[in-house]
Amino acid sequence: MKFTEEHEWLRVEDDLVVVGITSHAAEQLGDVVFVELPEAGTTVSKDDEVVVIESVKAASDILAPVDGEIVEVNEALVDDPGKVNEDPEGDAWFFKLKIEDLSVLDELMDEAAYKKFVG
């Protein structure tokens, strides 16, 4: 997995990049009560606001970590936003991206660098 300074994680599955938020981010947010996902088929650029999350503490935007096309969203989060707190780095992924060049992920932090970043 790769990580951003905005506390997102990215995992490559076949030719897609799965994106979610880290456990650290989920803890900071508190209980998530609402998730607004983008439409599949949406083309995004790095740092575009893609997902809106509301918790009991605050509202936050999830930014696109890289350029690409959103090909799938996790509709289960709309019905049960609490999944973000239960399994942020597993079943609570937000969207899957198709990107041109997977090597752009090399610029992101690995797990050790992310742990140092939040530590």
Q: What is the reported pTM?
A: 0.94
pLDDT in tens, 59-92: 999 999 999 999 999 999 999 999 999 999 999 9
CATH classification of the domain holding 65: 2.40.50.100
Domain count, the chain: 1
pLDDT in tens, 36-45: 999 999 999 9
In a domain, 109, yes or no: no
Q: Which domain does 15 fall in, by range?
A: 2-101
Which DSSP string corresponds to 20-57?
EE-HHHHHHH-SEEEEEPPPTT-EE-TT-EEEEEEESS
